[in-house]
Amino acid sequence: MDVTPQDKARILSEALPYMQRYDEEIVVVKYGGHAMGEEQVARNFARDIVLLEQAAINPVVVHGGGPQIQAMLEKLGIKSQFAAGLRITDAATVEIVEMVLAGSINKNLVGHINAAGGKAIGLSGKDGNMVIARKITRTVIDPHSQMEEIIDLGFVGEPDKIDTTVLNQVIGRELIPVLAPIAAAPDGGTFNVNADTFAGAVAGALKAKRLLLLTDVPGVLDRNKQLIKDLSIEGARKLIADGTIAGGMIPKVETCIYALEHGVEGVVILDGQVEHAVLLELLTHHGVGTLIHG
């Protein structure tokens, strides 16, 4: 169906109140999942981010890169070790993680945004001590002995201190920060941080208007696999407790709750493979994911 010039003008006009809502506000967008591996999807995402900046919204992009890291480890013949289903990031692995995340993936996304007319700057959590992380471990139950076992995940951390000095110098100056989820250790070393967790910590420190977590699913689903469009913190906790929210969605929702409790107004989990998902969520009344709020 052809779209007439009048249709285009009407669509732009209908976006006005949403543009006013986010005028000069910070929106943190975590970009990850399988959508990252598709060139055209990446280009469309970059155009959408540039459009936000042109509309006087301040986007901050955080990206993941799990599949790309795995592909590079296999290419270099570095075998990953796992314990209780969790990847152990040893010294050799963290070197590749930093190279892929802060190098090839980050600069590729920066390139797409710049090609679309934006001015992107690629950074990581190590720049300006933006994110200082602490080492994390996981406790699991041994299936044979039923005893608790502490798993050392190596160079895997979680945000401990956030310093927004560098971001404050960039945001609002027609520059788009693109952040790799690599954090500094207190001794200057490197920690790999889950991209959702990293984005939630940064969004909270910036008191962002919105945090968008782009993933591979439509959002939070109920027991009938139907999308839940609106969810409070209390409601989210109840769904975790009763098992409706399970598996990998639990840490995502916990990240949402953390961000909300640290000053973010609303967090949305949405499918990054939906064309123009960011614009649909922010600039129309059709929100395409699950909005979690206080």
Taking the C-alpha atoms of residue 283 and residue 22, their distance in angstroms, rounded to an integer, is 9
Determine the pLDDT at residue 40. Answer: 86
The residue type of 247 is G
Determine the pLDDT at residue 5. Answer: 86
Please determine, for residue 198, whether its predicted confidence score (pLDDT) is greater than 90: yes
Tokens of 181: 């989820």
Helix count and strand count (H, E) for the chain: 11, 14
Give 91's contacts (C-beta < 8 A, 6+ positions apart). 154, 155
The answer to whether the CB of 120 falls within 8 A of the CB of 155 is no
Determine the pLDDT at residue 35. Answer: 63
The answer to whether the CB of 148 falls within 8 A of the CB of 84 is no
Q: What are the angstrom distances between the C-alpha of 255 and each of 105, 159, 201?
A: 23, 12, 8
Q: What are the angstrom distances between the C-alpha of 222 and each of 54, 76, 272, 289?
A: 37, 42, 20, 13
Judge residue 222's burial from the number of C-beta atoms within 10 Å of its C-beta, 0-12 exposed, 13-18 middle, 19 or more buried: exposed
Please determine, for residue 163, whether its predicted confidence score (pLDDT) is greater than 70: yes
Strand order in the sheet with 290-293: 120-124, 176-180, 58-63, 26-31, 210-215, 266-271, 290-293, 230-232
Q: For residue range 218-259, list pLDDT tens digits in order.
A: 999 999 999 999 999 999 999 999 999 988 899 999 999 999
The class level of CATH for 24-293 reads alpha beta
Residue 169 parent element (H or E): helix 165-170
Please state the domain extents for the chain: 24-293
Tokens of 110: 């920066």
For 57-171, where are the E strands, in sequence order?
A: 58-63, 81-83, 86-88, 120-124, 131-141, 148-162
Q: What are the angstrom distances between the C-alpha of 81 and each of 46, 84, 145?
A: 34, 10, 22
More confident residue, 26 or 14: 26
